[in-house]
Amino acid sequence: MSPAEGVSDAEIEHLAGMANRLRRHVIKMTYFAGSGHPGGSLSAADMVAALYFRELRLDPSRPAWPDRDRFIMSKGHACPVWYAALAERGYFPVDDLWGLRSTGSHLQGHPDMRKTPGVDMTSGPLGSGLAAGVGMALGARITGRDFRTFVMLGEGDLQEGCTWEAAMLAGHRGLTNLVALVDYNRSQVDGRSDDIVRLDPLADKWRAWNWAVREVDGRDLHQVLDALSWATAPQDRPAVIIAHTVKGWPVSFMLDDPEWHGRAPDRDQAAAALAELGEVWAAPPRELKVEGSRSKVGLTPAAMAGQGDEAGARPDAPACIRPERGRERPRRVLRDAFGAELAALGADLPNLVVLDADISSSLKTGAFRMRYPERHVNFGVAEQEMFLAAAGLATTGLIPLACTYATFATLRAAEQVRSFIAYARLNVKIIASHGGLEVGWDGPTHQAGEDIAMMRAVPNMTVVVPADAASLPALLRQAVALDGPVYLRMGRNPVPILYDEGQPFTLGRAITVRQGADVALVACGPMVSLALEAAEQLEEQGIQAQVLDMHTVKPLDGEAVTRAAATGAIVTVEDHTILGGLGGAVAEHLAEHCPTPLVRVGIPDTFGRSGDPAELFPLYGMAVSDIVGAVLRVLQRKKAPAAP
């Protein structure tokens, strides 16, 4: 280390010790959580320590103090090291750290400014922090306050154009109260950024954007402190510190390995990492962590309603459903089925191309990429570009399958999908995973709860939500065969396999997975299984519930809904907001064709939170018991229609 001006050796030593302590917390937090992002947390630890234990003007007893310096972790997945610093700085008890990502905790999978003291800006979706920081810096100017705003960026942030929009305005306006720190570990989810979409010459980029630039070794606290002094000294433009770091540093088996971007250590790995960090730790079992934290959750399980039963008309055509009941059915992750079918499709269709945006490992496109590298493009973290490029590719006679999480496809790239793909009816397939509350631990920024409503509102769009890994291959093939845009939504977790071989699937045609004349459950995606479980429980009460798998939400199978309405009572079940999605589509059909009492089960017009889906579903009124309750409520209305 070169000596930093005006900083004592003792202080450097103290900060280095703190950085080490934060790293140890990161290991334990992600171990306890069983998920999370250790790699980019470790690489940023020295900078976070320098900021929180020397540079930032803060008062942990007053998190809302208007004159505090602001810090934004734009690479929001690295929140473990940030939470660790906030705890050590006194914003909340260190023991809270062990609840990371659990249902009862205020520590979400990605930072939530409304839940965690000391978090000044929500983050997670990359490429957003610098623009939010521009707002804070402008706000300081307008309100005449002298606080500074610091934004930490990763490679993904720099691949997203929004970062460069913000950098342009900051340079134009000379926002000298804004400092960017790049945790430049050159590693992202899908590998090395130099391979995916390289950022060099990175310093030239910032200079051309009218920023002052300094490059440092981000592991050398002398250099980091010097650079912070330089960046906060009077100058005529905003300053960026490009800190060269190493992902996973200094844990030997995590070093510079993209695998550790978003994987939690197991018990042995955690103990080994801590040993390297100087701590002997006999890791307790993960289950110990959440004790006593449940009470922090503000939500209560939805109350259930009364009972009832009544006869109705009879639906048709039995489905080929596996014989097991409820939770006994074997489970499979839809993305795995997608990846396997994709590779097979690649052989059948030479004009199929697959596009990724840095999460190919999550979307399971690897087998296709290995076999057909010339037909695979990874855009890095740049979803808007990916969908526009998909439009361009489609015009050359190719069939692009553009793969990402549902929030990024339908929110980040909403205009690209609507105004360029759908308006032009281009033959692009939007493959989205991580739909719904079922995403769990990653938190609301990654839980797509509005995507079906949004895609359904877009003309020319077909919206497909397969229920299980058995129906996915057939529905995927039909989506690809359709000449036009399709939105195909999958969840994250394993879901029961419902269908036996021999079950036919047709886009736009619902499947009656269970007969029943008293009430109809119209469900999609992973909720079909829960609806079936609910129907099995209702049978024990003498209620015969029909269950429809509405795998195509648009175009809606109106005939099937009309037939279902013959029961006199309908419950829709979806892992999505109850506004405008499957429930909305069914409500519209009923009102226009056959007014019938309806109850919608789904996300109740609120944002979710991090946690185990098994805990979240009851909290948000989406468990099997809630479906049963909804049926009992709607049956009450069937017997005695409400006076208008």
Q: How far apart are CA 78 and CA 362, in angstroms?
A: 18
600 sits near a second copy (criterion: CB under 8 A): yes
128 sits near a second copy (criterion: CB under 8 A): yes
Closer by beta carbon to a second copy, 30 or else 159 = 159
Minimum CB–partner distance for residue 350 and a second copy (Å): 10
Q: Which of 62, 208, 233, 371 binds a second copy (CB under 8 A)?
A: 208
Helix (H) or strand (E) holding 630: helix 624-639
Q: Which of 288, 457, 481, 614 binds a second copy (CB under 8 A)?
A: 457
- Give the footprint of a second copy on residues 405-424 (CB under 8 A): 407-408, 410-412, 414-416, 418-420, 422-424
Q: How far apart are CA 160 and CA 153, in angstroms?
A: 11
509 sits near a second copy (criterion: CB under 8 A): no
Q: Which residue has the tokens 């990402």?
A: 404
DSSP secondary structure string for all residues of 135-177: HHHHHHHHHT----EEEEE-HHHHHSHHHHHHHHHHHHHT-TT
308 phi-psi bin (left φ>0, alpha ψ -120 to 50, beta other):
left
Q: Which residue has the tokens 């989406």?
A: 622
459 sits near a second copy (criterion: CB under 8 A): yes
- Give the footprint of a second copy on residues 64-83 (CB under 8 A): 66, 70
585 sits near a second copy (criterion: CB under 8 A): yes
58 sits near a second copy (criterion: CB under 8 A): no
Closer by beta carbon to a second copy, 496 or else 584 = 584
- Give the footprint of a second copy on residues 249-278 (CB under 8 A): none
308 sits near a second copy (criterion: CB under 8 A): no
579 sits near a second copy (criterion: CB under 8 A): yes
Closer by beta carbon to a second copy, 287 or else 592 = 592
DSSP secondary structure string for all residues of 253-305: TTTT-GGGSS----HHHHHHHHHHTT----PPPGGGGGTT-GGG----PPPP-
Q: Which residue has the tokens 């938190």?
A: 443
Reduced to 3 states (helix: H, G, I; strand: E, B; else coil), residue 178 is strand
Q: Which of 44, 136, 243, 467 binds a second copy (CB under 8 A)?
A: 136
CA angle 192/259/80 to nearest 5° reads 100
Closer by beta carbon to a second copy, 293 or else 384 = 384
In sign, the C-alpha dihedral spanning 245, 250, 252, 254 is negative
Q: Which of 263, 281, 594, 612 binds a second copy (CB under 8 A)?
A: 594
- Give the footprint of a second copy on residues 358-397 (CB under 8 A): 374-375, 377, 379-380, 382, 384-385, 388-397
Minimum CB–partner distance for residue 204 and a second copy (Å): 4
305 sits near a second copy (criterion: CB under 8 A): no
* Beta pairing, strands 191-192 & 187-188: antiparallel
Reduced to 3 states (helix: H, G, I; strand: E, B; else coil), residue 30 is helix
* Residue at 277: amino acid letter: L
Q: Which of 116, 122, 176, 471 binds a second copy (CB under 8 A)?
A: 122
The whole-angstrom distance between residue 609's C-alpha and the CA centroid of its chain comes to 11
Q: How far apart are CA 53 and CA 39, in angstroms?
A: 22
Q: Do residues 409 and 468 touch, judged by C-beta distance below 8 A?
A: no
127 sits near a second copy (criterion: CB under 8 A): yes
169 sits near a second copy (criterion: CB under 8 A): yes
Which residues lie closer than 8 Å to 23 by C-beta, 6 or more apart?
Answer: 41, 42, 45, 81, 251, 277
**Rg of the chain in Å (alpha carbons):** 26
159 sits near a second copy (criterion: CB under 8 A): yes
Closer by beta carbon to a second copy, 134 or else 507 = 134
Helices assigned H by DSSP within 416-481? 451-457, 472-481
Q: Which of 304, 566, 612, 618 binds a second copy (CB under 8 A)?
A: 566
Closer by beta carbon to a second copy, 284 or else 350 = 350
Q: Which of 73, 274, 538, 586 binds a second copy (CB under 8 A)?
A: 586
| CA-closest candidate to residue 82, choices 114, 121, 125, 131 | 121
453 sits near a second copy (criterion: CB under 8 A): yes
Q: Which of 48, 49, 131, 430 binds a second copy (CB under 8 A)?
A: 131
Minimum CB–partner distance for residue 156 and a second copy (Å): 12
Closer by beta carbon to a second copy, 223 or else 636 = 636
Reduced to 3 states (helix: H, G, I; strand: E, B; else coil), residue 324 is coil
559 sits near a second copy (criterion: CB under 8 A): no
Q: How far apart are CA 489 and CA 431, in angstroms?
A: 6
445 sits near a second copy (criterion: CB under 8 A): yes
114 sits near a second copy (criterion: CB under 8 A): yes
Closer by beta carbon to a second copy, 73 or else 472 = 73
304 sits near a second copy (criterion: CB under 8 A): no
- Give the footprint of a second copy on residues 605-624 (CB under 8 A): 605-607
Task: Please work out the total of residues on this chain that contact a second copy, with binding judged by CB under 8 A.
Answer: 129
Closer by beta carbon to a second copy, 393 or else 627 = 393
Closer by beta carbon to a second copy, 252 or else 419 = 419
Q: How far apart are CA 580 and CA 587, in angstroms?
A: 9
